[in-house]
Structure 1
């Protein structure tokens, strides 16, 4: 049995995945990318499971929802964690590329994976990688705002995320088709955006042709999330 447990949670309004991770031995836990409107659900589950919440980790400054990080901190003695390249104010810990955070007996590796935004961070722990909006199942996050870069996305995925073993489980920040997880091997083989059969210049060209409206909560979410979700 793995010493780490993962529970995937979903916000139907924004199609956002939140992740609850905990160390079986110590019962210390963390949340990745909690949604403001789902905080009571998340905290109730943690209490039900008898866990001790230590951290809230964010993969990036979200544009489609407000993070629940500050609301959770107002209720629990936790530390808010962001990547060091986000420019966010008010976090307790800023992780550099390849820096390790301890959760009980587990090591969490932070990876600077820019592309969707300039400050995106993925987290690797015990055979799982949480890729936020950098790598989706059969896709990638948009790169047309918040310092996004198609070139950076391609490099983050192919030169960093794809370096992990093929059986590494990929947990994305969103999915709009009911898919919950993938593997590094599957994404290398079949991802239509950044599979290994796709050349970098083709990915950049394809992204440049896409026209998408900004998220409906962009003007509210981004300023709040630059302050850890404080409205």
Structure 2
């Protein structure tokens, strides 16, 4: 697996190109991501969204149009791709496949596991490929995603963090913002974050 990373836009949202067996998966093409994506793919097969916030899906439609590849998005967040709930002027995009919960997929022969961790958004998910997690805005290095946005839920965030604590094995985590980390490292600080979220409920 080869992973290319480029922070995009004001919020420096990480766009990833993941190459497996010569096939390119584009994860979270954010603001102005198209030019970089086009320059760094040779055999693109799909666009994968971790969740529906504008800074992760901004270039969905443009990349899809240029490369003629499908968009996969968690079902509970697909409304964000068309409704622009944060009023950012996000270009509308239509997902070709709505991922439901902890769904296992095979895209162009590549095995992909979505892990549903709602809280930041209703559909917020980790995209698992092999021993790597693309965690979107669920887990960051020593931190977690916000739970105070419209459609966010502190109650769901607590449940998701508790779920993350039960997962065995270790994964390298590539988050939606900032530097990479590991699941084991984050499991050590998740109890702290559970208490912080609970205080706001």
**TM-score, scaled to structure 2:** 0.84
Does the CA contact (< 8 Å) of 2:49 and 2:56 recur in 1?
no
Judging changes above 3 Å, is the alpha-carbon distance between structure 1 residues 61 and 6 closer, same or farther for their aligned structure 2 residues? Answer: same
CA drift of 1:12 comes to 5.4
Instruction: Report how far residue 103 of structure 1 moved.
Output: 3.6
2:167 aligns to what? 163
Displacement after TM superposition at 1:8 (Å): 1.8
Distance in 1 (alpha carbons) for counterparts of 2:72 and 2:111: 14
Correspondence for 1:72: 63
TM alignment of 1:26-37, pairs within 5 A: 27-37=22-32
- Please list every run of at least 4 consecutive aligned residues from structure 1 whose deviation after the TM superposition is greater than 3 angstroms: 63-66, 199-202
Q: In structure 1, the residue corresponding to 2:76 is in which secondary structure?
A: coil
Cα separation, partners in 2 of 1:42 and 1:161, compared to 1, 3 Å:
farther
Greater relative CO (CA pairs within 8 A, separation 6+): 1
Residue 146 of structure 1 and its aligned partner are, at CA, apart by 2.7
Instruction: Give yes or no for contact 2:30–2:54 (8 Å, CA) kept in 1.
Output: no
Alpha-carbon offset, residue 36 of structure 1: 3.5
- TM-superposed CA distance for 1:101, in Å, is 2.1
The answer on 1:6 being equivalent to 2:3 is yes
TM score, norm. by length of structure 1: 0.74
How far 1:152 moved relative to its partner? 1.3
- Contact 1:36 1:71 survives alignment (8 Å): no
Cα drift, residue 104 of structure 1: 4.1
- Give 1:137 shift: 1.0
CA shift, 1:72, in A, is: 0.8
Segments of 5+ residues of structure 2 without an aligned counterpart are 83-93
1:182 CA drift (Å): 0.5
Matched, 1:45 2:45: no
Say if 1:164 and 1:184, in contact at 8 Å, map to a contact too.
no
Give the C-alpha shift of residue 111 in structure 1.
1.6
Counterparts of 1:115-154 in structure 2, within 5 Å, are: 115-154=119-158
2:30–2:55 CA contact under 8 A, matched in 1: no
Query: Cα RMSD (Å) of the superposition?
Result: 2.1
Largest Rg, 1 or 2? 1
Conservation of the 8 A alpha-carbon contact between 2:31 and 2:55: no
Instruction: Tell me the residue number matched to 2:88.
Output: none
* 2:173 is the counterpart of 1:173: no
In structure 2, relative to structure 1, the CA distance for the partners of 1:199 and 1:93 (3 Å cut) is closer
- What is the match of residue 62 of structure 1? 53
User: In structure 1, how many angstroms separate the alpha carbons of the residues matched to 2:57 and 2:128?
Assistant: 24
How many positions carry a matched residue from both structures? 188
List runs of 5+ in structure 1 lacking aligned partners.
209-231
Matched residue of 1:85: which SS?
helix
